[in-house]
Amino acid sequence: MSVKVLGLATSPRRKGNTETLLDWALEAAGEAGAEVTKLRLRELEVNPCIACDGCFDGGACIVEDGMEELYPLLRGADSIILAAPIFSMGLAAQAKAMIDRCQPFWAIKYVLRRPLIEPGRPRRLGGFLCCAGTTYSTVFDGARQVMRYFWHVLEVEPAGELLCPGVDAKGEIHDFPSAREVARDIGRRLGVREEA
């Protein structure tokens, strides 16, 4: 059975730098034999978490929107690659809203005390691809902290990270050929099944 790789393009800009990184990674995952699914969050209606604690009752979000499509994919994927730009020193709002809406997974694990992933399943892997227009030394710090939480709550082991500072204008990532190779390497590694 092939590895299921979920790629999340979270930039509001279509075909921008982070989505280009994601496409390179997913192409390599597919070449490695993975079953690839790509979603653009801008094409889903994902509203912010309303902090109602409704998910504490049964582990399901009560808000009906695009997350209903995404929840089973997040749980079912063997590998997840999230591609996001930095806006105002943090993850773009689309990425952060989606991560905040993963509160039901937190509730399943820590309120309802139920397993999120079935026992004995091979370890799940995650990759993070990110571009920032600035070159401040701390520009990725906030995003990396949020991603650590995201991987933890989904029971995903971080297995690849590509952070590209000073990449802003659309298409500028093509000026950094090494970025393509790193993105493809992440995709290849996440496209191959590993033993638990």
pTM: 0.95
Is the pLDDT at 63 greater than 70? The verdict is yes
Inter-CA distances, 151 with 3, 82, 101, 185, 192, Å: 18, 10, 14, 20, 19
The pLDDT tens digits of the residues spanning 10-52 come to 999 999 999 999 999 999 999 999 999 999 999 999 999 999 9
In angstroms, the CA 59 to CA 36 distance is 27
The pLDDT tens digits of the residues spanning 73-84 come to 999 999 999 999
For residue 188, give the nearest of 23, 27, 8, 11 by alpha carbon. Answer: 27
In angstroms, the CA 123 to CA 111 distance is 23
In angstroms, the CA 73 to CA 67 distance is 10
The pLDDT assigned to 194 comes to 65
Q: What mean pLDDT, rounded, does the chain reach?
A: 95
In angstroms, the CA 33 to CA 70 distance is 23
Question: Percent of the chain scored above 70 by pLDDT?
Answer: 98
Span 179-193, mean pLDDT?
96
Span 153-163, mean pLDDT?
97
The CATH-assigned architecture of domain 4-190 is 3-Layer(aba) Sandwich (3.40)
